[in-house]
Amino acid sequence: MASAATENGGADHVVQLSVREASPSEIGAGEASESEEISPLLTQAERPKINIFTVSYPRRKPRDQVTRLTEVETSLVTQFAVWVWSGSRYSGLLCMALSSTIYFLMGVVSNVFSVQSIPLFETAFTRCTIILVSSYVWLRKTGQPIRGLANVRYLLISRALVGYFSLMSFIYCIQRLPLSQAILLSFTTPIMASVMARIILHEKLKIADIGGLVCSFFGVLFIFRGVLTTQGGIVNNGEGSNAYAWKSNHIYAILVGLFSAITGGVSYCLIRAGAKASDQPMATVFSFGVLASPAAGICSFAFEDFVFPGLYSSVVMLILGVLAFFAEVFLARALQLEKTSKVANVQFMEAALSQLWGIGWLSVAPSFRRLVGCLLIVISVCCTMYIGPDKEAN
């Protein structure tokens, strides 16, 4: 024991501090008593543990459920898009079916939403510009080279030139021929593409492929036969040199339309070669836009009077341009994945969809020839889809 004393200025007050060391037995007894007091608070395993992570919040359940449903729907759409793009051995055929459907929807939008009269070159310039900008953004977002790989640049340049010649020839054909005849000539492009693929790409043409193309083209002939017969009588009403001049210009326009189909077929082959060599289809779309957009703009200002569209017409033209971009992308992807003759036959479904929509929505008289033509196209396309891609197709 130790003690200390302190005196305050000589006063009688004395403070004494004493310190006593505890014995080991007393220390052990104190720790035991403390452990007995704390132990009931620590041993509660039988009671449920509740913390902030296990508490439920009923008010947030509906919002969480809506969020989860939205995520599920988005994931399903994404999975379907990925499956169509590259997740199936039928992806090439499905991409061409989507491309033809989008082209059909472009015709529907043009017929339903009537806009002011826009010159053809100006329309082509608008769509090519939208294709150019959209493909450029796509390439930048995905980190792909804008100029393409060095070993495929000549293919991309050739594709752009040939595709532009095909587009300009088709515009001339529309200006000089009745619309039905111009459309009929444009549907010879799949046949030309199959023939050119046999010559340029050395693709094998099987009997089933030839039969499908012939069946589909006969379906197109059945659809447009009545219109062609009616419009063919115009020449007989002319007299003298006027009839001869009209006939000469008509034949020249038909030859230009055939040239458009041939160059379109060659363009399909170049798209397939360029897309396979670069392992992605977007470069072929971008190369076409780089050449076609400024060239169409020059032709628009040089050969036609520029018409400034209104707000309503601009919105419709923007929608058509975006649809044209996706149609071109799916077309290039289809040619990249599948043999040309097979995807070219699927392209005929656009004609059948247009006729069926006209019969069902526009109340067009369902003539026997139109129904037979649509039936031939549907049977041909379904057989192509059922047979599926060739085993050697990449």
Provide the pLDDT for residue 56: 47
Provide the pLDDT for residue 258: 93
Provide the pLDDT for residue 69: 52
Provide the pLDDT for residue 269: 94
Averaged in consecutive runs of 10 residues, what is the pLDDT profile of the chain (394 residues)? 47 50 52 50 49 47 54 67 78 91 92 82 92 93 81 89 93 87 90 93 89 92 70 46 62 91 94 88 92 92 84 91 94 91 91 87 79 92 84 49
pTM: 0.75
Q: Domain limits of the chain?
A: 86-235+243-387
Provide the pLDDT for residue 111: 84
Exposed/middle/buried for residue 20 (C-beta within 10 Å: 0-12, 13-18, 19+):
exposed
Provide the pLDDT for residue 326: 94
Provide the pLDDT for residue 67: 56
53 to 8, 50, 172: CA distances (angstroms): 62, 8, 71
What would the two tokens of residue 306 be? 């520029």
Provide the pLDDT for residue 200: 92
256 to 195, 339, 364: CA distances (angstroms): 19, 27, 31
